[in-house]
Structure 1
Amino acid sequence: MSGLFGSSSSASQANTLGDLSKDVTLSSPPTDSVSDLCFSPASAHLAVASWDNQVRIYEIKGDGSSEGKAAFPHEGPVLSCHWSPDGKQVVGAGADKAARILDLGSGATTATQVAVHDAPIRCVRFFQPQSSNSPMIVTGSWDKTVKYWDLRAQQAVATLQCQERVYSLDVQKNLMVIGTADRYINVVNLLEPNKFYKTLQSPLKWQTRVVSCFPDSSGFAVGSIEGRCAIQYVEDKDSSSNFSFKCHRDPAQNNMTNVYSVNSISFHPVHGTFSTAGSDGTFHFWDGVAKHRLKGYPTTGGTIPATAFNSDGSIFAYAVSYDWSKGYATNTPQYANKIMMHPVNPEECKPRPSVKKR
C-alpha cells in the first residue's frame, strides 16, 4: 500500500483529528534538544536523553504532572537511553563514545561507565539473554559495530560487524533489528546473537531514520527521512503482509509536496497499534493490521525527535525540540524545547474491527 492512510474524504479526516488540549507539559525539561524518551517498564518514571549531556529521570503522576527525581551526566550529547527490565537501572549512551548506567535500585547517585566504542554510540538497549538471569546491554555505534556487554565484565562479550554506521537499533524479546547507513537492515535472533539471522535493504528508498520492533517480536517498522514508513515481518510467508505508506508530508501545492523525516515510531504495549512522529511537528496513531490511520494530531509547534508510550499505554510522551532537519540557521533561542504527556483515550489506539470479506 503506497497511498496516504486516511486520505479518503474530508468527513473521515475530521473524524480522525486528535485533540491536544489535555496534554500536560513536563516540568523542568532539559536545557537543549531531546534525543530520546523511554518509560520504565515497572513504574511511573520517564528517562530523557538530551543534547545537554544529561539523562534525566522524572516521576509522572496520575494527573500528568511530573517531578524530576535524578540525573546523570555524560561527556557529550546523550543520543539514547533505556531502562532495565526490572526498572531499577537506566542506561544512557552518546557522542562521548561511552554508555553509562545509574543503578536506582541501589540508591546510587553517580553513574558507572559500562561500554565504550571508537565512535559515538547512537543506540543502547537492555535485553534479557535466555542463558542468564542477569540483563545485558547492546550498543550500536557509528564505528559500524554492535557490541554486547555483560555488566559484570570490563570488555564487550561479543561484537557484530555491520556494513555501515548504526543509525537505529531496537530489541523486543529475542528479536533485534539494526538499521544502518546505506539502508541496510540487519535482523538478529538473540538466541544466536553472534550472527545476522537476516540482512535486507530497507524497503524504503531513502535513508533509514528509525527502526522499531513489534511488541510480539514478529516484525518491525522502518521510518525514513522521506516521509515514509514500512511494516516488515521477519518471516515473510505472505509477502502481502509487508507494505509501506506515505506520512508526514504536506498536501501538494503547485505540484510541490513538502516531505519530512519520520523520527520516531512507538508501539502501543497493549493494542500493538503504533505512532509515527516527524519533523513536520505532528504525530499520528496507526493500525498496521487494518492499514488504517486511527488519529492524526495538529502540529505541536516544533519538530518531534522522540516519543514513547508508558507501560500500560495510558500516556504517550512526545518531545518538541529542534532536530536539525533544516540546518543550524533554524535553531533559534525561541525554538520550542519541551516534553508533553498526552493522556491516551483507549479509542485513540484501539485497532479497528476487521471487515470480513464475504
Structure 2
Amino acid sequence: MSRAACYELLPPPNDGITAVAFAPSSTELLVSSWDQNVHLYDIGRQDGQGSLKKSFAHNGPVLDVCYGPSDDVAFSVGLDMQVNRIDLISGDITVLSKHSAGARRVVYCPGHSMLVSAAWDSTLHFHDLENPSSAPLVVSLPGKPHALAASPTKLVVALTTKAVLVYDLASASAALTSGATSLKCWQERESSLKYLPRAVSCMPNDAGFAISSIEGRVAVEWFENTTEKQYAFKCHRQPAPDEDVVVAYPVNALVFHPEYRTFATGGGDGHVALWDAEAKRRMKQYQKFPENVSALAFSPDGKYLAIGSCPGFQTGQEDYSGQGSSRVFVRELGDSEAKPKGAK
C-alpha cells in the first residue's frame, strides 16, 4: 500500500480503538478508545498525515461513537453505562440516559431524528433528539446486544444468542411521540452464523444487511424473506505457521460503501478486504496492517476509508493493552476502487 494512498493520524489513542466515525460534511473523524476518550482528528493531510484537534474525556472506556445531525454534535457510549451527547465545539458532555450495564453501541437515525443505544443490560434506549429532555423509550431484548446498525427505515440488532432483531424506525418514532412504553419487533430471525456476532452493517439501498462473526465468516441477508438470496462465506483466514491448519480470525468490523453494493471487512488477521455483495466475490485485499483491525468507516462521500488497528484479544495476552500499538489510518480510495464490476 503506497504512502500516497494510505496515511496515519497522529498522535494515536493511548489504548485499544473501539470505533471510528466520519463527520457528515467535513474532513473530521472521531475515534473512541479504551483510553476513556473520544478523539477528534482532521484528516486533511499535513506532511503526509492528519492531525489531532482535541480529545473529550469520559468516565470509563468508550465503546462506540457516532455523529449526530451536524459536524458539531456527537454521541458516545461505554463502560460508564451512559448515553452521552458531546458538543464538539464547546466540549460539553450531556448525559441523555443511563443503562444498568455497559453500553456497547450507539447509532443515529437521521430520517427520524432519533438516537438508539444498545447495552449489556439487554435493553435498547430510543431517544427523541427533537425533545432531548424527554425520557427514552426503553425496549427489553431477549439477550445481550453485541452489534447495531441502521438503514433508512430499519434498525438491526445482533444478539449474543444468535438472534437478529429488526425494528421498523417509523414505528419506533411513532412510539416515542405517543409516549408508548413498548415497541414490537418488526422481524426476528436466527443468524446463519454459528458463532458470536461481531459486527453488522446495513445496505445503503435499504434492502438488507451483512453480519460477521468471531469465526471468520460473513452472512449477507435481505430484509424480505427471499431465502434464495441469503448466503454466507468464509474470510479472514490464514495458514498457521509450520502447521497444516488454517486459523479463522474474528471479523471485527464491517461497513457498506455509501454508494455502491460493496462493503469492507476488517479482521483479527490485520487485513481489510473489499467485497461485492451481489456478485459474491472479493474485490480487493489490502496489505496487512500492523495489528488486528478493530474498526472501519467510510466517509459519507465514499472517498476515504478509516481503519483502526490495535492488539486483539484473540492473541491470548494475559495483560491486554493497546497502549503504544494502537494506530489510526486513512485510505484515499481511487475513483473505481470500491465500485462493483459492471456498475455505471
TM-score, normalised with respect to structure 2: 0.90
Between stretches 320-329 and 297-306, larger displacement belongs to 320-329
Instruction: Check conservation: 1:302, 1:335, Cα contact below 8 A.
Output: no
Secondary structure of 1:348's partner? coil
Between stretches 247-256 and 164-173, larger displacement belongs to 247-256
The answer to whether 1:57 aligns with 2:40 is yes
* Residue equivalent to 2:25: 42
Aligned equivalent of 2:188, options 169, 187, 199 = 199
* Residue equivalent to 2:274: 285
Aligned equivalent of 1:125, options 84, 107, 120 = 107
CA distance in structure 1 between the aligned counterparts of 2:267 and 2:333, rounded to whole angstroms: 19
Aligned equivalent of 1:141, options 108, 119, 136 = 119
Aligned equivalent of 1:342, options 331, 334, 340 = 331
Secondary structure of 2:337's partner? helix
CA distance in structure 1 between the aligned counterparts of 2:135 and 2:341, rounded to whole angstroms: 45
Secondary structure of 2:11's partner? coil
Letter in 2 for 1:263: N
* Residue equivalent to 1:4: none
CA distance in structure 1 between the aligned counterparts of 2:322 and 2:216, rounded to whole angstroms: 27
- Richer in strand (by share): 2
Quote how far apart the aligned CAs of 1:142 are: 0.3
Letter in 2 for 1:221: A
Secondary structure of 1:347's partner? coil
Counterparts in 2 of 1:90 and 1:333: CA distance versus 1, 3 Å: closer
CA distance in structure 2 between the aligned counterparts of 1:45 and 1:73, rounded to whole angstroms: 18
Instruction: Check conservation: 1:321, 1:335, Cα contact below 8 A.
Output: no
Letter in 1 for 2:293: I
Matches within 5 A, 1:68-107: 68-104=52-88, 107=89
Instruction: Check conservation: 1:119, 1:141, Cα contact below 8 A.
Output: yes
Instruction: Check conservation: 1:55, 1:72, Cα contact below 8 A.
Output: yes
Counterparts in 2 of 1:333 and 1:196: CA distance versus 1, 3 Å: closer
Counterparts in 2 of 1:169 and 1:334: CA distance versus 1, 3 Å: closer
Counterparts in 2 of 1:324 and 1:155: CA distance versus 1, 3 Å: farther
CA distance in structure 1 between the aligned counterparts of 2:114 and 2:303, rounded to whole angstroms: 28
Aligned equivalent of 2:7, options 16, 24, 38 = 24
The answer to whether 1:222 aligns with 2:211 is yes
The answer to whether 1:110 aligns with 2:89 is no
* Residue equivalent to 1:7: none
Secondary structure of 1:302's partner? coil
Q: Deviations over 1:247-284 (max 9, x none)?
A: 00014775421010000001111223110101010010
Letter in 1 for 2:222: Y
User: How many pairs are equivalent?
Assistant: 329
Between stretches 119-128 and 223-232, larger displacement belongs to 119-128
Letter in 1 for 2:307: Y
* Residue equivalent to 2:200: 211
Letter in 1 for 2:156: V
Q: Deviations over 1:236-255 (max 9, x none)?
A: 33x22211110000147754
Counterparts in 2 of 1:110 and 1:314: CA distance versus 1, 3 Å: same
Counterparts in 2 of 1:288 and 1:330: CA distance versus 1, 3 Å: farther
Instruction: Check conservation: 1:304, 1:320, Cα contact below 8 A.
Output: yes
Instruction: Check conservation: 1:226, 1:259, Cα contact below 8 A.
Output: yes
* Residue equivalent to 2:141: 162
Letter in 1 for 2:224: E
Quote how far apart the aligned CAs of 1:201 are: 1.0
Quote how far apart the aligned CAs of 1:298 are: 2.2
CA distance in structure 1 between the aligned counterparts of 2:261 and 2:238, rounded to whole angstroms: 27
Counterparts in 2 of 1:337 and 1:288: CA distance versus 1, 3 Å: same
% same residue: 31
Q: Which runs of 5+ in 1 are unaligned?
A: 1-18
CA distance in structure 2 between the aligned counterparts of 1:320 and 1:228, rounded to whole angstroms: 20
CA distance in structure 2 between the aligned counterparts of 1:121 and 1:327, rounded to whole angstroms: 24
Letter in 2 for 1:124: V
* Residue equivalent to 1:6: none
Aligned equivalent of 2:50, options 55, 66, 91 = 66
Q: Deviations over 1:160-196 (max 9, x none)?
A: 2111111010112111100111111101110112221
* Residue equivalent to 2:153: 174
Instruction: Check conservation: 2:215, 2:251, Cα contact below 8 A.
Output: yes
